Chains A and B, each alone.
Chain A
Amino acid sequence: MFEYLKEIWPTLWPTLAAIGVILAFVPFLGLYMTFIERKLAAYVQDRLGPNRVGPFGLFHAIADAIKLFLKEQTIPAHVYKLLYFIAPTFSLMTAMFALVVMPFGPVPTEYSSGFRYIVAPGIDIGILMMIAISSLSAYGIILGGWASNNKYSLYGAIRSCAQFISYEIPLGLSIIGIIAAAGSLNIEQIVAAQGGPFWNWNMFWQPVGLLVFFTSALAETNRLPFDLPECEQELVGGFHTEYGGIKFVLFFLAEYTHVITVSFLTSLLFFGGWHFPGLTGPVDSSLGGMLLRTFVLVFKVGMVVSFIMLLRWALPRFRFDQLMGLAWKGLIPLGLVNLLCVAVVLTFDLPKHLLSFTAIFIFVGSLISARQLQFTINRPRSAGRPSIAQTTSEVTI
């Protein structure tokens, strides 16, 4: 036993170290993202935000955590006890599990010994596994909604279920274009394929793919404008209505972990990962290069996270039929068209950046189709009413 351990130790410790880094950083990041989000919300709304505890209010997050941990653990009498306790842990577990194949720093395409910025390097189905795991996170929400034994929670859970199923399709479609171009499902390979000059980044030649991916990934995180499973105005708190204290924290942490995952994925798949003008080419293992690349990646991720947070305060929530309409009538056709264009470009070996121009045509085309759709949506509703052209009428009192 001991001999065996000694034998595999050189390959074991980097994995353990990477797991340690993730386990240490993700809850901490989640904690501080709440703080950053509150600050950002305050600035957008011309307020100051939390500024009482510590310098610039930096310890508010810690105070929040202490408060939530010390809260009384109330268990409502009407819940299914077992599922009720499983749901939050399951939710967080699946969210963390998706991070296994996620490089959080530069990872060379060939296997190397020593510390690596990924738990499981060189997995050939990396991105596929990520999608599979992240769709599991619907289970946590559905379990929570079901176990709460509460109408509103169940509504939230059902909504999230429908939302997950719908948005998984455009999510997959938008990624296929990337996979086809890189010729690999391995995330490290996909990033390596974006090396070279910065216009090789996928965002520059697949802008439609980026749009579809980012929208549907945002929907998968259950955040505004897609936070129908927990919308406060309609469903009290949605699936986590009956949860409080530490159990609520787990749900919350799962949501923020999703945001981190989505931001990493967007940066890795579309924004060139750890590549930056002047920092291209294969990953070398010198400390400086590693740190610089890590910084580049983290910076990109930070930008995406801030953008997601900003969207929350800029956009109103979708109505449920609009949400479904957006996925089925908007994003899926758009994703298919994008996939078709990528396939054409790759099959006939056309220059990649032809796609940047086709993106314009795709946008115009979708404008036209959106216009058509609008006709069909508007017609029955305004049938019985005078239209805006004949708005005035004489009434005798």
Chain B
Amino acid sequence: MTTTKKTKTVKWGDEPKLGWVEAMYLPAIVSGVATALKHAFSGKTTTRQYPEVEPTIPPNYRGVHRLNRDEAGRVKCVACYMCQTACPANCIEIIAAPAPKDDPKWKDRDKYPETFTIDELRCIYCGMCEEACPVDAIELTSIYDLTGLTRQEMIYDKEKLLSVYDQTVNSGNDPIRTNRGALGPASLEAPTAKQGPPPPGQGRHG
């Protein structure tokens, strides 16, 4: 077996010599000033006047979190801790509680999160929690202008996260986007064991 030798052409660069005219700087200065003037009087601008003109946010933008509700209006989360485990920034904190069995409203559920807090300041908005959630309960919205005066108010609890859902779900910008519907009693069409998980390409992350 012969070894193949590849030949490659290497280009050596040298700074180009200045010609007669360039060496005087003047033509370059004139063309520089002309470029500057052209831009100054072109009247075009790339500036967006932000607070007055809001930017259009792409639908896969990763902004503030929300906790989705199911059709019964309950929190969709089943407190499986998947998101908390997946989170690289360690900013999700969940305390699970058994669902109240005597309440008919909750009789199809075993667990629910008693508290669910996300530290929005610590979050790096990577979207791992959204990917990890088996029941599409946690999602990132397109809210980008998150501000607060104290650190405390930037720690979002369950109620606040649910209120973000109520705020955004009908705004047109943030439809429910993780409609994998694959697992768990709280997901919409629970597939039977025979059906298995949906074929690739069907869900958002296909």
Q: Which residues of A approach B to under 8 Å, CB–CB?
A: 40, 43-48, 310-311, 313-315, 326, 363, 366-368, 370-371, 373-374, 378, 382, 385-388, 391-397
List 18 contacting pairs A-B, 8 Å CB cutoff, sorted by A: A40-B40, A43-B40, A43-B41, A314-B32, A314-B33, A315-B32, A315-B33, A367-B24, A368-B20, A371-B19, A371-B20, A374-B23, A382-B14, A385-B12, A386-B12, A387-B14, A392-B12, A394-B8
Given known contacts A326-B25, A385-B14, what 15 new A-B pairs fall within 8 Å (CB)?
A43-B39, A43-B40, A47-B47, A48-B47, A313-B36, A314-B32, A373-B23, A374-B23, A391-B11, A391-B12, A391-B13, A392-B11, A394-B7, A396-B5, A397-B8
**Among the listed A373, A374, A388, A396, which residue makes an inter-chain contact with B7, where contact means beta carbons less than 8 Å apart?**
A396
* B37 / chain A contacts, CB cutoff of 8 Å: 310
Once bound together, how far apart are the Cα atoms of A374 and B18, in whole Å? 7
Whether the pair A314, B20 counts as a contact (CB closer than 8 A) is no
Whether B44 is near chain A, meaning CB under 8 Å from some CB there, is: yes
Q: Number of B residues whose C-beta is below 8 Å from A?
A: 34
Write the nearest CB–CB distance from B182 to chain A, whole angstroms.
48
Given A40-B40, A48-B45, A370-B20, answer yes or no on A310-B33 (Cβ-Cβ < 8 Å): yes
* B33 / chain A contacts, CB cutoff of 8 Å: 310-311, 314-315
Whether B42 is near chain A, meaning CB under 8 Å from some CB there, is: yes
Whether B107 is near chain A, meaning CB under 8 Å from some CB there, is: no
Report the nearest B residue to A366, measured CB to CB. B24
B71-112, CB < 8 A from A:
none
Whether the pair A310, B40 counts as a contact (CB closer than 8 A) is yes
Whether B170 is near chain A, meaning CB under 8 Å from some CB there, is: no
Whether the pair A393, B10 counts as a contact (CB closer than 8 A) is yes
Once bound together, how far apart are the Cα atoms of A363 and B36, in whole Å? 25
Whether the pair A392, B10 counts as a contact (CB closer than 8 A) is yes
* A326 / chain B contacts, CB cutoff of 8 Å: 25
Write the nearest CB–CB distance from A156 to chain B, whole angstroms.
24
* B46 / chain A contacts, CB cutoff of 8 Å: 46-47
Whether the pair A395, B45 counts as a contact (CB closer than 8 A) is no
Whether the pair A394, B9 counts as a contact (CB closer than 8 A) is yes
* B5 / chain A contacts, CB cutoff of 8 Å: 396-397
Report the nearest A residue to B19, measured CB to CB. A371
* B7 / chain A contacts, CB cutoff of 8 Å: 394-397
Whether B205 is near chain A, meaning CB under 8 Å from some CB there, is: no
Write the nearest CB–CB distance from A16 to chain B, whole angstroms.
41
Whether the pair B40, A44 counts as a contact (CB closer than 8 A) is yes
* A45 / chain B contacts, CB cutoff of 8 Å: 39
Whether B21 is near chain A, meaning CB under 8 Å from some CB there, is: yes
Write the nearest CB–CB distance from A182 to chain B, whole angstroms.
27
* A386 / chain B contacts, CB cutoff of 8 Å: 12, 14
Whether B194 is near chain A, meaning CB under 8 Å from some CB there, is: no
Write the nearest CB–CB distance from B39 to chain A, whole angstroms.
5
Once bound together, how far apart are the Cα atoms of A46 and B25, in whole Å? 25
